[in-house]
Structure 1
Amino acid sequence: MTSLDFGVYALTAYHNKKVMEELEKGPIKSASEEISSEARTLIDSRDLDSLKQLQLLILGRLQDSNAVLSHFNDYSEHCFGDVSADFSRNTRLLRTMKSDLDYIFQKLRHVFV
């Protein structure tokens, strides 16, 4: 098979695939339209409107909650930035105090032995 034959074969296969996809879209689309029209007759439009309103209400509440949480995260980040230097300094101070106390207790043990 030459490269020209292979190219023609590949082009034909691609064309056939596209034709099959187009043929399948028609029945699928009509089937989905039929199912959706049947579903519309099963559910009362007032119930759908009520569900839609509830969904919009829930969406609004979730958006408000998201805004509050975002603000809280920003505030927490700001507060942490303010106190992180104090935490680091106090941590170093506690470590040196522990080291000093360990040294003192070690000396006391040697004195009483």
Structure 2
Amino acid sequence: MTEKTEVTASKTITQEILNFSNDSDVNDILNLQTEVLKKQYETNNTLNHFNEFSQQKFNQISADFEKNTKMIKEMKKDLDYIFKKTRSIHSILNEKFPNSVPQMEHIIDDEDDD
């Protein structure tokens, strides 16, 4: 019994490609592909380290930012209270001494703050 070798289009194309190239060219291509793959791994490692570093810094900065935001909100509440009290005292003084208390036109009204 003899085995028949089937000739298919893919085998023919593969054989023709192998005939066009020599071993040196194939080895050069393989070496180049290996170098590119190594560089991709190195780049991937660098990016992973950078992402980890960025995540750590973001966590640190995020906590500081949240703390500072709370502090600024508290300061705004305190300032609003101070301005309200100042206006109240000004009104009382203006009622008791209408000509001796300077007008507070430079202070912004509550409606303009928001």
With the shorter chain as reference, the TM-score category is: 0.5 to 0.7
Query: Does 1:82 find its partner at 2:74?
Result: no
Moved over 3 A (4+): 95-108
- Matched residue of 1:77: which SS? helix
Paired positions, count: 85
> In the alignment, which residue of structure 2 is the partner of 1:8?
none
Q: What is the aligned partner in structure 1 of residue 12 from structure 2?
A: 34
Q: Cα 1:42–1:94, aligned 2, differ >3 Å: closer, same or farther?
A: same
| Matching of residue 68 in structure 1 with residue 46 in structure 2 | yes
More helix by share: 1
Larger radius of gyration: 2
The one of the two structures with greater contact order (alpha-carbon pairs below 8 A, sep at least 6) is 2
Query: What amino acid does structure 2 have at the position aligned with 1:112?
Result: M
CA distance in 2, matches of 1:44, 1:51: 11
Q: In percent, how many aligned pairs have the same letter? A: 34
The 5 Å alignment of 1:1-113 reads 30-98=8-76, 111-113=103-105
Shift of 1:101: 5.3
For residues 18-43 of structure 1, what are the alpha-carbon distances to aligned partners after superposition, in whole Å with 9 as ceiling and x for unaligned?
A: xxxxxxxxx7x721011010011112
| Cα distance between partner residues in 1 of 2:27 and 2:80 | 73
TM-score normalized by structure 2? 0.58
Map Cα deviations across residues 25-83 of structure 1 (whole Å, 9 max, x no partner): xx7x7210110100111123211211110110010011011011112211221222223
Q: Which runs of 5+ in 1 are unaligned?
A: 1-26
